[in-house]
């Protein structure tokens, strides 16, 4: 993940100036299963705004194993949508 810069916004065709850009998705991981892709800008997690990579990490750290949370994001072309992210599998 990376801070959203004007260069990344142009590269991924994002119209937002806020959020965090997904730069890599682990195959089979929670983000992959939720349909989050490289180039998506994550704007909110569980209705809380995401303004930095650190803020995103903190929000995701609060997700309990197996818990479902809404992630609001923007995809290329300016399409905003929600996806459901499931917390890590219980150990």
Burial class (CB in 10 A: 0-12, 13-18, 19+), 42: buried
Q: How many Å separate Cα 62 from the centre of its chain?
A: 14
Tens of pLDDT along 4-46?
999 999 999 999 888 999 999 999 988 999 999 999 999 999 9
DSSP state of 17: S
| Closest listed residue to residue 67, CA positions, set 79, 59, 75 | 59
pLDDT of residue 77: 87
Instruction: Please give the domain boundaries of the chain with CATH numbers for all domains.
Output: 2-86 (2.30.42.10)
Residue whose pair of structure tokens reads 């949370």 in the numeric block? 69
pLDDT of residue 81: 96
Measured between alpha carbons, how far is 40 from 21 in angstroms, rounded to an integer? 6
């Amino acid at each position: 993940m990376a801070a959203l810069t004007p260069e990344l916004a142009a590269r991924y065709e994002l119209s937002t100036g806020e959020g965090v850009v997904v730069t890599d998705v682990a195959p089979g991981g929670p983000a992959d299963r939720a349909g989050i892709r490289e180039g998506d800008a994550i704007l909110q997690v569980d209705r809380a705004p995401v303004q930095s990579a650190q803020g995103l990490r903190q929000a995701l750290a609060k997700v309990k194993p197996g818990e479902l949370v809404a992630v609001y994001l923007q995809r290329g072309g300016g399409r905003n949508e929600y996806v459901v992210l499931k917390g890590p599998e219980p150990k």
